[in-house]
Amino acid sequence: MFLLAAISLGFLGSFHCIGMCGPIAFSIPVKRTSSTSVLAGSLIYNSGRIITYTIIGFLFGLLGQGIALAGWQNALSITLGVLILFILFLPNAIPLRYNVGLFFGLIEKIKSQLRKLFSIHTSSSLLLIGILNGLLPCGLVYLGVAGAIATGSAINGALFMAVFGIGTFPAMISLTVIRDYISLRVRERIRRTIPIFVGIMGILLILRGMNLGIPYISPTVETSTSGICHHNCCAK
């Protein structure tokens, strides 16, 4: 279930983030000698993003694992679900610009390094561009991180973010390879489905934390006094 959520979030959300990542994807230094070379370059670049997402997923999944072992997994899941719905319905309630400002220096260093890499036309530079691009602020990635934490496992968190990244492949590769075949109308229709899916994800996280005994959606999580899950219920 969580893998389906991950790839759906990546696929649908990627069309919304084309505006931010589009300029980078359009201008990555791929060899345009043939459509094959363009496709290969785009795959290398996007693989770099997935590497970063996987590492981020592992780290935040590890955080979720610690919370789960403390016996707070249900409360965490409900909190994340409520937070997602809150941001969905009140997007301007949280001044994200201030949060970004806290990391302004780091972001500027990443952008500076990206500018240097754009002048180098090699496969390794494409991979590094993708890796660094994965570190730039992105609301879609923040949602993915919430999902990674909710898995309650470092491995599942890494897997969640890796599959999430794979879900973004079609839209991001289309920017450098088949952008002319995806009409603005189609992209706009997909964008309109994003809030619906994000809302569903928030509701599912809340249901998961409510321990209703519904397989895969809200499995019963039994914990001991130390907060350790039995019968593999946390993996459902």
* Token digits of residue 41: 């370059």
Mapping DSSP onto H, E and C, the string for 35-98 reads: HHHHHHHHHHHHHHHHHHHHHHHHHHHHHHHHHHHCCCHHHHHHHHHHHHHHHHHCCCCCCHHH
**Residue 121 Rama label (left phi>0; alpha psi -120 to 50; beta):** beta
Sign of CA dihedral 100, 101, 102, 106: positive
Rg (CA), the chain: 19
**pLDDT, tens only, 133-169:** 888 878 788 888 988 998 889 999 999 999 999 998 8
Q: Which residues of the chain register pLDDT less than 50?
A: 96-98, 180, 223-236
pLDDT of residue 230: 41
- Cα 175 from Cα 158, distance rounded (Å): 26
pLDDT of residue 125: 92
pLDDT of residue 232: 44
- Cα 177 from Cα 180, distance rounded (Å): 8
For 223, the 3-state DSSP assignment is strand
| Contact present, 126 and 30 (Cβ < 8 Å) | yes
pLDDT of residue 55: 97
pLDDT of residue 234: 44
| pTM flag (> 0.85) | no
- Cα 150 from Cα 144, distance rounded (Å): 10
pLDDT of residue 120: 86
